[in-house]
A and B are shown apart, each in its own frame.
Chain A
Amino acid sequence: QQQVKQSPQSLIVQKGGISIINCAYENTAFDYFPWYQQFPGKGPALLIAIRPDVSEKKEGRFTISFNKSAKQFSLHIMDSQPGDSATYFCAASISAGYSTLTFGKGTMLLVSP
């Protein structure tokens, strides 16, 4: 019940295309769903996050779509650029005085020039 399933494992998109990464969860106690971007040798950086009472959130070229009834959420990267090439992790969080993150396994995105 604590798992977050992420797909695809890897993704190649042409420059200017749309990158889509999907995640699914089981535990309805999760109350926060962040996406992290990680470049090789660096720490994960928060990209965008959403709470389950919102169906969509957009920040620049990045959009999260959230389907509470299906227990699924996805990241869309519009106009993908080579600089977006990185590993993306979805996560889900439960609060207990601190946040306990459950990560997906990650998606390696390569945007070809």
Chain B
Amino acid sequence: DTEVTQTPKHLVMGMTNKKSLKCEQHMGHRAMYWYKQKAKKPPELMFVYSYEKLSINESVPSRFSPECPNSSLLNLHLHALQPEDSALYLCASSQGGQGLSETQYFGPGTRLLVL
């Protein structure tokens, strides 16, 4: 099973709202990732968690706040977003650990619209 699940599938929020995106995997992976994808562009890395610790923050604005409560769960808390933050938000996971690179498995994404 190589499934990464994401909820919700779609989200519409106003610029003053607070919402959260959720990602879950049960593959025993220890690395988890958040990406943002605009139309007709490749995914753009936002955050990487390795063994539940934040390893990479790609200069993402503080209105995006990641959280990794345990090795299977990854959240992305959203607050005071801007219309330009509207995009497909993707979660991915990989085995993690030292050694060669391994496959990242992506979830279906959350389509976010900020009004």
User: Which A residues contact B (CB, under 8 angstroms)?
Assistant: 31-32, 34, 36, 41-46, 49, 51, 87, 89, 93-101, 103-106, 108
Residue of B33, B50, B88, B106 contacting most chain A CB atoms (<10 Å): B106
B13 on the A face (CB < 8 A): no
B66 on the A face (CB < 8 A): no
Interface locus among B69-77, B79-87, B97-105: B97-105
Compute how far the CA of A44 lies from the CA of B45 in the bound complex, rounded to whole angstroms. Answer: 14
Residue pair B101, A89 in contact (C-beta under 8 Å):
no
What are the 9 A-B residue pairs with the smallest beta carbon separation, nearest first? A103-B42, A98-B31, A32-B101, A93-B101, A43-B106, A95-B101, A99-B101, A98-B50, A43-B108
Compute how far the CA of A101 lies from the CA of B34 in the bound complex, rounded to whole angstroms. Answer: 12
Residues of B within 8 A of A87 (CB): 40
Chain A binding surface, main DSSP class? strand
Q: How many residues in B have their beta carbons less than 8 Å from beta carbons of A?
A: 32
Per-residue A-contact encoding for B6-24, CB less than 8 Å = 1, 0 else: 1000000000000000000
Residue pair A31, B90 in contact (C-beta under 8 Å):
no
Q: Total number of A-B contacts with CB less than 8 angstroms?
A: 80
Residues of A within 8 A of B90 (CB): 43-44
Question: Known contacts A41-B111, A98-B48, A99-B31; is A105 also within 8 Å of B106 by CB?
Answer: no
Residue pair A106, B104 in contact (C-beta under 8 Å):
no
Question: Known contacts A104-B42, A105-B42, A106-B41; is A46 also within 8 Å of B50 by CB?
Answer: no
Residues of A within 8 A of B99 (CB): 95
Question: Known contacts A98-B55, A100-B45; is A43 also within 8 Å of B107 by CB?
Answer: yes
Residue pair A44, B106 in contact (C-beta under 8 Å):
yes
Residues of B within 8 A of A44 (CB): 43, 90, 106
Question: Known contacts A97-B55, A97-B97, A98-B94; is A89 also within 8 Å of B42 by CB?
Answer: yes
